[in-house]
Structure 1
Amino acid sequence: MAKNPNAYKLIAQNKKAYHDYFIEETFEAGIVLVGTEVKSIRQGSGSVKESFIRIKDGEAFIYNMHINPYDKGNIFNKEPLRTRKLLLHKKEINKLVGEVSTKGMTIVPLKVYIKGSLVKVEIGLARGKKLHDKRDDIAKKDMRRANEREFKIKNI
């Protein structure tokens, strides 16, 4: 039985990013990890809630991404919040640099997942939301939930 090459196992998701930002475009990036970090991620322990991405000297780095130390890793474990390099094509990095230089744009990590045998990070080019935009989104979600609830009651 062949596995689906597009299948992936979600490790961590940054739901707050969708609440705080308009995601304009997404990119898939590899991440440079050591062996114990990969094992820890395969166990499902990682977080991108407080993390952010900066581009420095033509390379992308993710800061504050938390990966729990591997249980059986002893001396080979690295610091949980260390800065890690992201693997992107030069053309993608140049596009991100150009977009971020415009006012109000930033790069946020959206999710971490395992695709095949590789650990990937989905990053998004984002524009910050204002308070009224957030309120509009919450009102739309509430309306959608109410409609779904009403539809479910009618069809029972």
Structure 2
Amino acid sequence: MSIEVGSKVQGKVTGITNFGAFVELPGGSTGLVHISEVADNYVKDINEHLKVGDEVEVKVMNVEADGKIGLSIRKAKPQAERPERPQRPRNNNRSNDRNNNHRPKEDFESKMARFLKDSDERLATLKRATESKRGGRGARRG
């Protein structure tokens, strides 16, 4: 029997590693179910989900030229059995929302005035520091 990508087949777990499980497929070929493809939720220890000798239904995800077969147990389940992941509302400006919640809204002119004041103060501090090192106006000579 040829293994085709996208087909669902029954297999037997023949080995378990820390990164996944090896499953023997019909026809004697062996494929790997990566630990991320074992269950819909996070799998810390694969031994909690699978044991050597378990019969599992797997979906063939890919077949590489060198004969490696990628398998998935979680994608072999019917859609109805797979738990629905809750969708979070997307908001690309979360940090701005957090920062602006405690501060009253400012108009553009007040933001610009505050920026210019801060900028002038920083430039003055920088200018004082560099002039004293260069021996510019007002620098002490000794």
What TM-score comes out, normalization by structure 1 length?
A: 0.26
* Structure ranking higher in strand proportion: 1
* Structure ranking higher in helix proportion: 1
Higher relative contact order (CA 8 A, sep 6+): 1
Larger radius of gyration: 2
